[in-house]
A and B are shown apart, each in its own frame.
Chain A
Amino acid sequence: MVYSLPEEVLEHVFSFIVSDKDRNVVSLVCKSWYEMERWCRRRIFVGNCYAVSPSIMIRRFPEVRCVELKGKPHFADFNLVPEGWGGYACSWIEEMSKAYPWLEEIRLKRMVVTDESLELISTSFKNFRVLVLSSCEGFSTDGLSAIAANCRNLRVLDLQESEVMDLSGHWLSHFPETFTSIESLNMSCLGSEVSFSALERLVARSPNLKTLRLNRSVPLGKLSTLLHLAPQLVELGTGAYSSGIRSDVYSSLSKAFLGCKEIKGLSGFWDVDLSYLPAFYSVCSRLTTLNLSYATIKSPDITKVISQCPNLQRLWVLDHIEDSGLNALALSCKNLQELRVFPSDMYAADANVTLTEQGLVSVSQGCTKLQSVLYFCHQMSNSALITIAKNRPNLTCFRLCIIEPRTPDYLTHEPLDIGFGAIVKHCKNLNRLSLSGLLTDRVFEYIGVHAKKLDMLSIAFAGDSDLGLHYVLSGCKSLKKLEIRDCPFGDTALLANVAKLATMRSLWMSSCAVSIGACKILSQKMPMLNVEVIDENGTLDSKLDSCLVEKLYVYRTVAGPRSDMPGYIWTMDRDSSSRI
């Protein structure tokens, strides 16, 4: 006789299980748990919007409140994915508007969203609260007007790094005077001026506003007004951080920052005028996040700022910080967890900045809680990488970009294989890795052997042969996302590891050595994968099996081939149907 808990009890227990992985496991226990779980799942994350269809999701999970979708491949960020590729949110939003009247949160990343969809969102979901459009495009400020006008309970509107057709700043005025619920507003990506009086009134009547990221066009002179109206702010993104020669701007700004006792994060700082920097010193001791990656602040000014932020956990900065600034960081910021150093000049080899591998070594030594690194630099050595690896075995994300492709160890002129090998060997919990510099197949052997927790790997201008790819696909047990460009990897490795591809979210290969023949074989062997060949120039001859493909995107799916592919994408289905 099987004894089981009553449904209500199970449901209550399940409500504590939040992570998708755990929920998926729960649903596999038995049929009744599967049924129970699917009715009470409230949050869905779809890492690839083409892996599943809206109807499949809706059929299985009828009571969802929060949906998160991702569209284009990551390399779309660097213009490697052509226009019109896909990632349309339209069909998702349409179907959800009918099936989920109680939907509260939509988060989209790298998707194409139209004004019509935004309008549909604003009118379909009565309790809509959170809209995050991260690196999205396809909509204009008209769509934002609809959201502002209709979403009475909106808490979060975050347009992080989206490309918005900026028709006017008047969209903000569409928030009715009775609207007071906003908690987080990020409009930093917008180009045009918003109506300042509308912004001012909105901030004044929003007591729960905790995050406010302004766009560049909000002048510094107006920032103090806003800060006085919202002293409860926790995260602030300034507009342009400079002004004409008016001393009262400085003093009122300084006073305003003094009044903000809750600020923990700062960003913005476009067009920095150094003389205004001290105005925010009063908040530095509380700062946990600081994003100065749009600010040309050089040593010693940047060092002065950093040495006042002992509680800093996350720092994004330009390479103007130089080794000296990073040394100061290592001394002052013992709680640092994440460091991102962006290049100020992407094309000059000996740019006017003294940022070398030494800066990163210092930080790896001084900041014992460091977990996540993104570092653009011009030179690196194996010994530095080995030191970093030994200093910081707790690294979980290591992304190094040596700006010149195939740059060897500048001391020994050797490849950087053993350096990166040390990283994967010592950092046992590494889940994200980006490689650069001169690398042979050897580094991939190390990665395949050691990087057992690696979830995402980015490779560029590396390797000697198919063996490199084979090591990765056969060795990295946890690998879900693999993106490769300009490497001599081809058919042999791909076809030897077809089963692996079904355990991954996606594989991107561009300017490699994969042939159309191999793509056909892959498609035939693995019906649960969509094998999409991008042929922008129209030079692909699909009848010639040895013809190399320009760009390849392979992903697992339960939704079959997608119906919105542009003409320049080749798939087996299209090929065979055109022959009939």
Chain B
Amino acid sequence: MDLINFEATELRLGLPGSSTDEPEIKSTTSPVNTNKRSSPEMDSNVSDENGSSRSPPPTKAQVVGWPPVRSYRKNILQGRKSDQPEMGSGMYVKVSMDGAPYLRKVDLKVYKSYGELLKGLQEMFKCIIGLYSEREGYKSEHAPTYEDKDGDWMLLGDVPWEMFITSCKRLRIMKSCEVIES
């Protein structure tokens, strides 16, 4: 397929003559080669990051169930990608809450701080979660913990947020009483 240079006639955000790194949203029905990586959940098409010297090729529509790779396998590879910060790629981790029958998933990239994350989790599970403080103990019934890269279970909040999101593999909202006992 020919890649026609659309640069001169492209609609862009920003002043004419300036190159842009901003993502373009285009949709197309015909599948075309692209360097795009994105989570399978995305419906809209986001173009590639390297839109610098040549015009980005038209983006590919995400086809349901294609390529024929099982979700389990896709998730493993997706999880690996979240180690490298990428545009458009979600950093989904599982969240379990003690007593709840189903697990959920959150995209850590959506949040900018622990506070935002806890708020999001509280919305999801309809509960109150508090960070532990040496002085006051637990402020609520539930305590947020996470599993890090080494497989250890850690209490949320000790490390800087950026460090946390790169090392967090999954979250678990424990009952505060269990945390104290263990």
Contacts and interface: CB of A to CB of B under 8 A. Distances in A.
A243 to B, nearest CB: 7
Contact of A349 (B33, B63, B77): B33
B67 A376 contact: yes
B102 A485 contact: no
Interface string A59-95: 0000000000000000101111000000000000000
Given A79-B65, A189-B72, A165 B34 contact: no
Contact of B63 (A163, A270, A271, A405): A405
B31 A404 contact: yes
A293 B73 contact: yes
B150 A244 contact: yes
Interface residues on B, range: 35 or more
Interface in B130-176: 147, 149-151, 153, 170
Nearest to A378: B33
A217 B151 contact: yes
Contacts of A349: 33-35
B135 to A, nearest CB: 30
Interface in A227-245: 240, 243-244
B37 interface: yes
B80 interface: yes
Given A349-B33, A404-B31, A404-B33, A165 B60 contact: no
Interface in B12-44: 31, 33-38
Interface in B62-117: 62-74, 76-77, 80, 94, 96, 101-103
Nearest to B30: A406
A345 interface: yes
Q: Most A CB atoms within 10 A — which of B37, B63, B66, B149?
A: B66
B68 A77 contact: yes
A140 interface: yes
A220 to B, nearest CB: 9
Contact of A460 (B35, B66, B77): B66
Question: Which interface residue of A80, A167, A270, A344 has the most chain B CB atoms within 10 A?
Answer: A167
A85 B33 CA distance: 34
Contacts of A80: 64-65
Given A191-B94, A294-B76, A350 B67 contact: no
Those 6 A-B pairs whose CB atoms lie nearest each other, nearest first: A78-B65, A349-B33, A80-B65, A219-B151, A78-B68, A77-B70
A366 interface: no
B85 to A, nearest CB: 16
Contact of A270 (B37, B38, B76): B76
A192 B69 contact: no
Contacts of A165: 101-103
Contacts of B63: 405
Given A349-B33, A349-B34, A161 B72 contact: yes
B67 A346 contact: yes
A200 interface: no
Nearest to B70: A77
Contacts of B77: 344-346
Interface residues of A, number: 45
Contact of A347 (B37, B76, B153): B37
A296 B80 contact: yes
Contacts of A11: none
Nearest to A510: B65
Interface in A34-81: 75, 77-80
Given A161-B72, A347-B38, 16 more contacts: A77-B70, A78-B64, A80-B64, A165-B101, A191-B103, A193-B151, A217-B147, A219-B151, A270-B76, A342-B69, A346-B74, A347-B60, A348-B35, A405-B66, A460-B66, A460-B68
Interface string A453-470: 000001010000000000
Contacts of B96: 166-167, 192
B65 A485 contact: yes
A403 interface: yes
A244 to B, nearest CB: 6
A460 B64 CA distance: 12
Nearest to A349: B33
A140 B100 CA distance: 11
A170 B76 CA distance: 24
Contacts of A448: none
A343 interface: yes
Nearest to B99: A167
Interface string A405-447: 1100000000000000000000000000010000000000000
Contacts of A75: 65
A240 B148 CA distance: 12
Given A348-B35, A350-B35, A406-B31, A342 B150 contact: no
A321 to B, nearest CB: 15
A194 B35 CA distance: 39
Nearest to B31: A405
B35 A166 contact: no
Contacts of B94: 191
A243 B34 CA distance: 36
A516 interface: no
B159 to A, nearest CB: 16
A401 interface: yes
Contacts of B70: 77-78, 135, 161
Interface in A259-285: 270-271
A406 B80 CA distance: 29
24 contacts: A77-B68, A78-B66, A78-B70, A79-B64, A79-B71, A80-B64, A80-B65, A163-B72, A167-B101, A217-B151, A219-B150, A294-B73, A345-B77, A347-B36, A347-B60, A349-B35, A350-B33, A376-B67, A376-B69, A401-B68, A405-B31, A405-B63, A405-B66, A458-B68
A296 B150 CA distance: 17
A200 B129 CA distance: 34
Contacts of B34: 347-349
Contacts of A79: 64-65, 71
B47 to A, nearest CB: 13
A346 B31 contact: no
Given A78-B70, A167-B101, A240 B151 contact: yes
Interface string A206-226: 000000000001010000000
B118 to A, nearest CB: 21
Interface in A334-389: 342-350, 376
A166 B72 contact: no
